[in-house]
């Protein structure tokens, strides 16, 4: 047969077909050739992970490292890029009016999940939300006290039960991932996130990591990421590490301390969280001695992953990579390279996932990020998804909807409020207050406002200032249902001179005042005074009649100049939706038992000041709290 140096047209066509098929085979496989062992729950975890990752293209691997915000996502994007996670940031709900039903949440999450399941390998995405004191983005959910109040309870078992209630209400809406708990050790109350911290004392924070057991369930083996059932969620310990120690309490700023200080104060909570099986850890915006945490390979990879043997995945904070440079995002390409090589496994990229995917691909192809680093990140993400059974049960149903806002959850929140209240002053044993008397005055901006009572991270990121989107009991309503029916209640936010001129008609006044709602840097505050008109209301009323001040705040505020005129002072923190817990203790159905989780300063000039400091001179020391006995024998 005569050979030819050139292929005939039909041969060329066949060659091109085979070439294209070979290229496609490098990135895709037909369903019949896909190794489906990763879908088999009877296989070992390592077998499932290896089976899946060996079949993934670089594009699919990088897609798993992405978390996108709900407004920027579609089912088609999830399918095309094999996106690993979606987040509903605070206030990002299925409906603009924030009144979405649980069923609407489930339907929305499932719609996105179906997009992920229709991708080549059908890897389910992990939907996340900020359930930081209950499922706080959900209309009419149970809202628990913020962490500073829970720290005052000194009750890890209570916090574990709160974690379980939060998990079931979150999972009931189809969401399996909660960005909780915050285990920051707040060392300066001027920090706008101080209420997210259980205490200035790392020992209290360590104990409160028991909330992880409530959120995830107890792992059968210590230190292994674990989510134990369809009513549990993936938890997230945050923000690694030192976020509560920033200079002057400035959010996202620099924590100045030596290695011993970092390890002895800020790190213990992470060790305890890992032992308890926490599945994810979020990196802090802040720096340690000038080094951004998102770039700190020594702490993220060497210490957290290698020394502490953390086996879950590490996630960035919201645009945490962008914020590594100023102006934000000004050198995103380099920041991304640094963060991934430092050990960040999943990146929140709310506005622009395509830029992330392009840059990541370039970094890998140019061998700036080793493929071993990509594989490590993806294995960690897949381990969490497999451990929670997401491959077996990727779609949610309505079966847990009736667990939202149940009476038992509201009673749990009410119990938490009772135990969180700290009695700071009780002149002549005014408290507990008599239920039966002629006439009482209730005053203050916070007496009849659920939004102010709950604080930030409620309905919306910065909170709300109304009663319309939260289901619960205001402190005024609680007082009304607790006192004897014969007792007359007069309510005025800011009593005028005519009301105050009749002070002798009132047996006593309850003044409920405090901070406005805020979150993160919007709460940074260098003066920590009680905002107006609350301060004037407190001074005017307490100058005229016997008064109990109930302070609603995320931290200690300046009270020393006014203390002499106040007969009773109660730190109620940010109690959440169940104001009845406040009335329970004010009127003696239960006794005061709470202890200060942090030092109460005399003047902001003393700050930062924490227990054990050389020049410790507080108004009320850490651990202080007067007690009363219940009148009803509870």
| Residues 498-539 pLDDT 10s | 999 999 999 999 999 999 999 999 999 999 999 999 999 999
Distance, CA of 401 to CA of 107 (rounded, Å): 12
Q: Where are the beta strands (DSSP E) in 502-614?
A: 508-514, 547-552, 568-573
Please confirm whether the linkage preceding 410 is cis (ω < 30° from 0): no
Band (pLDDT 50/70/90 cuts) for residue 24 is: very low
- Say which of 196, 317, 460, 589 is annotated catalytic: 317
Q: Where are the beta strands (DSSP E) in 97-235?
A: 126-129, 177-178
Band (pLDDT 50/70/90 cuts) for residue 249 is: very high
Q: What percent of the chain has pLDDT over 90?
A: 92
Whether residue 594 contacts residue 148, with contact meaning beta carbons closer than 8 Å, is answered with: no
Residue listed under structure tokens 């014969």: 486
| Residues 147-183 pLDDT 10s | 999 999 999 999 999 999 999 999 999 999 999 999 9
pLDDT at 276: 98
Q: Is 520 a catalytic residue?
A: yes
pLDDT at 329: 86
Nearest in space to 86 (alpha carbons), one of 102, 101, 108: 108
Distance, CA of 71 to CA of 57 (rounded, Å): 27
Helix (H) or strand (E) holding 29: none
pLDDT at 350: 83
Whether residue 589 contacts residue 159, with contact meaning beta carbons closer than 8 Å, is answered with: no
Nearest-Å Rg of the Cα atoms of the chain is: 27
DSSP state, residue 473 = B
Token digits for 590? 């239960």
Distance, CA of 285 to CA of 235 (rounded, Å): 19
Higher pLDDT, 549 or 466: 549
Q: Is 317 a catalytic residue?
A: yes
| Residues 335-376 pLDDT 10s | 999 999 999 999 999 888 999 999 999 999 999 999 999 999
| Start-to-end C-alpha separation, the chain | 104
- Say which of 520, 524, 567, 584 is annotated catalytic: 520
| Residues 432-464 pLDDT 10s | 999 999 999 999 999 999 999 999 999 999 999
pLDDT at 32: 57
- Three-state SS sequence of 182-213: ECCCCCCCCCCCHHHCCCCCHHHHHHHCCHHH
In sequence order, the 6+-apart residues with CB closer than 8 A to the CB of 407 are none
Give the burial class of 58: count Cβ atoms within 10 A of its Cβ; 0-12 exposed, 13-18 middle, 19 or more buried. middle
Distance, CA of 559 to CA of 189 (rounded, Å): 14
């Amino acid at each position: 047969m005569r050979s030819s140096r050139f292929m005939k047209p039909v041969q060329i066509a066949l060659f091109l077909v085979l070439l294209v098929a070979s290229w496609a085979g490098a990135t895709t496989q037909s369903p019949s050739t896909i190794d489906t062992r990763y879908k088999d729950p009877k296989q070992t975890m390592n077998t499932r992970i290896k089976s899946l990752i060996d079949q993934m293209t670089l594009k699919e691997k990088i897609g798993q490292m992405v978390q996108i915000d709900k407004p920027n996502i579609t089912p088609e994007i999830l399918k095309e890029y094999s996106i690993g996670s979606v987040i509903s940031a605070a206030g990002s709900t299925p409906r603009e009016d924030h009144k979405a039903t649980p069923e609407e949440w489930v339907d929305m999450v499932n719609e996105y999940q179906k997009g992920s399941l229709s991708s080549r390998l059908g890897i389910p995405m992990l939907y996340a939300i900020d359930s930081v004191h209950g499922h706080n983005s959900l209309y009419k959910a149970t809202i628990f006290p913020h962490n500073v109040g829970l720290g005052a309870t000194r009750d890890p078992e209570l916090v574990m039960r709160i974690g379980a209630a939060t998990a079931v209400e979150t999972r009931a809406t189809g969401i399996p991932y909660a960005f909780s708990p915050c285990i920051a050790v707040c060392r300066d109350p001027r920090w706008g996130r101080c209420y997210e911290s259980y205490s200035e004392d790392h020992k209290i924070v360590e104990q409160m990591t028991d909330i992880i057991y409530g959120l995830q369930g107890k792992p059968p083996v210590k230190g292994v990421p674990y989510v134990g059932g369809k009513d549990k969620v993936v938890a997230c310990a945050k923000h690694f590490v030192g976020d509560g120690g920033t200079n002057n309490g400035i959010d996202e700023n620099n924590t100045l301390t030596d290695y011993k200080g970092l390890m002895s104060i800020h790190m213990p909570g992470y060790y305890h969280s890992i032992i308890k099986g926490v599945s994810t850890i979020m990196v802090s915006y802040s720096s340690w001695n000038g080094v951004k945490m998102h770039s700190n390979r020594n702490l993220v990879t060497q210490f957290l992953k290698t020394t502490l043997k953390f086996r879950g995945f590490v996630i960035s904070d919201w645009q945490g990579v962008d914020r590594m440079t100023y102006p934000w995002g000004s050198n995103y390409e380099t920041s991304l390279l640094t963060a991934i090589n430092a050990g960040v496994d999943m990146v929140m990229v709310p506005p622009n996932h395509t830029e992330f995917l392009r840059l990541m691909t370039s970094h890998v192809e140019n061998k700036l990020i080793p493929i071993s680093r990509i594989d490590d990140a993806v294995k960690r993400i897949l381990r969490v998804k497999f451990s929670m059974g997401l491959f077996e049960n990727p779609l949610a149903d309505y079966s847990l909807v009736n667990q939202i806002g149940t009476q038992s959850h509201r009673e749990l929140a009410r119990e938490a409020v009772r135990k969180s209240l700290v009695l700071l002053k009780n002149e002549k044993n005014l408290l507990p207050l008599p239920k039966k008397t002629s006439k009482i005055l209730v005053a203050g901006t916070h007496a009849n406002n659920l939004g102010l009572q709950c604080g930030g991270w409620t309905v919306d990121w910065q909170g709300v200032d109304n009663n319309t989107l939260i289901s619960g009991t205001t402190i005024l309503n609680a007082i009304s249902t607790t006192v004897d029916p014969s007792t007359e209640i007069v309510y005025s936010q800011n009593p005028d001179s005519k009301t105050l001129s009749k002070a002798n008609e009132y047996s006593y006044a309850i003044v409920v005042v405090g901070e406005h709602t805020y979150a993160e840097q919007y709460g940074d505050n260098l003066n920590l005074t009680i905002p107006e008109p609350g301060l004037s209301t407190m001074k005017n009323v307490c100058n005229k009649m016997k008064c109990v001040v109930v302070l609603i705040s995320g931290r200690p505020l300046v009270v020393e100049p006014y203390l002499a005129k106040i007969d009773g002072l109660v730190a109620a923190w940010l109690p959440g939706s169940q104001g009845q817990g406040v009335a329970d203790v004010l009127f003696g159905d239960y006794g005061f038992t709470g202890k200060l989780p942090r030092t109460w300063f005399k003047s902001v000039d003393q700050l930062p000041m924490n227990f054990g400091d050389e020049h410790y001179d507080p108004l009320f020391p850490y651990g202080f709290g007067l007690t009363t006995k219940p009148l009803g024998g509870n």
